[in-house]
Structure formats: structure tokens, C-alpha cells
Copies of this chain bind each other. A is one copy, B any other.
């Protein structure tokens, strides 16, 4: 019951009649110790339930063994859901790699800065994970100036080099828009996410580029940026469907399945049918509870697992810490366009 308290390195080494050095090295896989001794040490450690004290290890090694994840400042409905999935997978991967995840709250820039400073100064975290950056996110230069390693899930306009993992939002929405153009749609609406975030800008750029390539120019009324929620999709789609014919969209491109649900509602309330009258594509973050496959009709989607990204971000962060000399990682994942039944040729 109490043994885990008293069973420290010294006690274990005395028990084994070895020095603390040897025991430590045996457990941490150093080559200077014979395999025989190592096995003996490991067996004893297991037997007595020895677990090194995290605090002592941290003090000695100068690293905290924890990653900080910045809790997003604005939180809204299903946008939250995506973050939760991301966070959950970060925690899972971190746990597998022997790291802890602590949350840094971000409310307002001043307090946010104070949080970072505190974390850095007292060495509470070894690296930070940021997600969903703004177009020009001040947090990057702040962390840089504080000498805090960080990795960004997403990208910004910043010229400086930083560690990042992002999906190819532009390419995804380019592909999706091109598909709709190829199907003969000439009025394609974009229901986007928050336009102050970079991913939304990238998506819009991809959308515009594909339209331009097809010789089309989207009317302003066909682009709506806002929250990743059903109601936003519903009101915006409702508004657009009330437009006169040349501008009235025959296809919708959504930044999330939640928005697509709203679009579907608006479409059906007009007596129209998704897949024939109206084509619909959404970005699919592969959340367990909102699936493109079980959408009615099954939803054509650009898909990329946000959970996989969370895991990878942790992997990269840990790799950065272990090999500080290697260049900062920078990955951009391609996004699959999966065609299902929610898209079809433009109605005549």
C-alpha cells in the first residue's frame, strides 16, 4: 500500500546490492551494463513496483515530460467537438510515448501571454501544441521569443519557419470544387468556417482557384463564413436558395458535416433533393459520431482524420525534443476526395 513511496532508486539499489548508477542505467537501457544485470534489475523493479519519481527525473534531466496543448480561445458547439477529438488523440499518443498533456487556457491575449510565460519560466512543459491558428497568429512569435518549442496544427501566413502539421485544405477544396464544375454546376456556394482562421482562407482559395480554372467567378452572395454548426449551414443555405436563378446555387461546399446537416435541412424544406437537385460536399474530419457514410444520402466528402493529425503532432513534438538539431518538421497531408451519393450532375 505504501511501498510505492519508499521504493525509490536507492532502496532498489540497496536491495540489489548495486549502485544507483547501475540500476538507473540498467532501467534506462544504457549499454554499459551487462544484459544479465539488466535483467536482474528489471525483474526486481517489476517485482517491487518501482516507478521513478517524475519530479526527480524532471529536475535531473531538465525536461518536464509534458506537452502543453493550448485550449482554444473561442469555443463554439461543434467546433469544440473537433478540438475534443484532436485533444483526445493527442492525449492517447502522448500517453503511449510516456508524456503527459497539460492544458493551457487561452482567454484574451494578455492572459494567454502570461500563461505561456509561466509555463516557460517554470519549465512546466517541454513544448506547446497550438491548433487552429489565425491568419497571422501572434502566439507564434510570442512562443518563439520565449524560446519555447512548439508545433502548430495548421499554418499561418507568417514567413518564419516553424514546426507544423497541416492538411492540404486548399487542394481539398480545389478538388471538390473542380468535381462540381465537371458535373456542370455553375453556381457553387461555399459555406466556410471562421474566416479569421487560416484553414478557412486556404479552403476559400482552393475553391476560388478551381472556379477560376473553370472560367467562373463566384458572386459574393455565394460565400459564407461562420461557425462549424448546423444552424449556420441552415440559415446561409436558406438565404442562398431564395436567390434568383443565375445566382441560386445548385451545389454546396461545406467546411464541416455539421454545416452540411443544416444545408440539407434548408434544401429539403424547399422540397429539393440532395444528390439530384442539389449537390453537396463537405469536409469530413472523421469524427466517430458524425459520419459522411451514414449521412442521408451518403455524403461526398474531402476527408482527413483530425485524430490521426493529433497523434502525429505529438509524435513530431516528441521527436523535436529528442533531436533538437534536426530541422523543424513540416508536414502537409493530402486530402482524399471520396465521391458518394450527395453529388450529381447539375440539373438542366
Say yes or no: is A51 at the interface (Cβ < 8 Å to chain B): yes
Contact between A124 and B84, CB atoms less than 8 A apart: no
| Chain A positions 112 through 146: 1 when the CB is less than 8 Å from some CB of chain B, otherwise 0 | 00010110111110000000000000000000010
Q: Which of B71, B75, B101 contacts A102 (CB 8 A)?
A: B101
9 A-B residue pairs with CB within 8 Å: A2-B147, A4-B121, A55-B58, A59-B59, A76-B289, A77-B289, A83-B84, A87-B103, A92-B105
Given A51-B122, A75-B88, 17 new contacts (CB under 8 A): A1-B147, A49-B121, A52-B122, A54-B123, A54-B124, A55-B58, A58-B58, A76-B289, A77-B81, A77-B290, A80-B80, A81-B81, A91-B104, A92-B105, A95-B115, A101-B102, A102-B103
Residues of B within 8 A of A156 (CB): none
Q: Which of B59, B80, B124 contacts A81, CB < 8 Å?
A: B80
A277 at the interface (CB under 8 A from B): no
Report Cα–Cα, A118/B87, bound state, in Å. Answer: 20
A221 interfacial by beta-carbon distance below 8 Å: no
Copies of this polypeptide in the complex? 2
**A64 interface residue (CB < 8 Å to B):** yes
Ranked 9 nearest A-B pairs via Cβ: A51-B121, A55-B58, A55-B59, A54-B122, A51-B122, A91-B105, A102-B102, A100-B102, A91-B103
A64 to B66, CA, bound (A): 12
Contact partner of A92 among B64, B76, B107, B121, CB < 8 A? B107
| A196 interface contact, C-beta 8 A | no
> Is A47 in contact with chain B by the CB < 8 A criterion?
no
| A positions within 8 Å CB-CB of B | 1-2, 4, 49, 51-56, 58-59, 64, 66, 71, 75-78, 80-81, 83-85, 87-88, 91-92, 95, 100-105, 107, 115, 117-118, 120-124, 145, 147, 288-290
Q: Which of A49, A59, A76, A147 has the most CB of B within 10 A?
A: A59
CB proximity of A268 to chain B, nearest CB, Å = 12
Note all chain B residues with C-beta closer than 8 A to A102: 66, 100-103
Asked whether, in the complex, the Cβ of A95 is within 8 Å of the Cβ of B105, the reply is: yes
- Beyond A53-B122, A64-B55, A76-B289, is A88–B105 a contact (Cβ under 8 Å)? yes
* Cα–Cα, bound, A289→B75 (Å): 8
By a CB distance below 8 angstroms, the chain B residues around A118 are 51
User: What's the minimum C-beta distance from A99 to chain B, rounded to whole angstroms?
Assistant: 10
Q: Return A269 CB to nearest CB of chain B, in Å.
A: 11
Quick one: closest B residue to A77, CB to CB?
A: B289
Contact B49 A54 (CB under 8 A): no
For residue A90, give the distance in angstroms from its CB to the closest CB of chain B.
9
Knowing A80-B80, A103-B101, the reply to whether A53 touches B123 (Cβ < 8 A) is yes
Specify which chain B residues have a CB less than 8 angstroms from the CB of A92 in the assembled complex.
Answer: 105, 107
Nearest opposing residue in chain B for A69, CB measure:
B103
Taking CB atoms, residues of chain B closer than 8 Å to A103 are: 87, 91, 101-103
Closest Cβ–Cβ distance, residue A316 to chain B (whole Å)? 19
- With a CB–CB cut-off of 8 A, which chain B residues contact A123? 53-55
A121 to B53, CA, bound (A): 7
Task: Enumerate chain B residues within 8 angstroms of A78, measured Cβ to Cβ.
Answer: 77
A101 to B125, CA, bound (A): 12
Neighbouring B residues of A54 by C-beta, 8 Å: 58, 64, 122-124
Which B residue's beta carbon lies closest to that of A79? B289
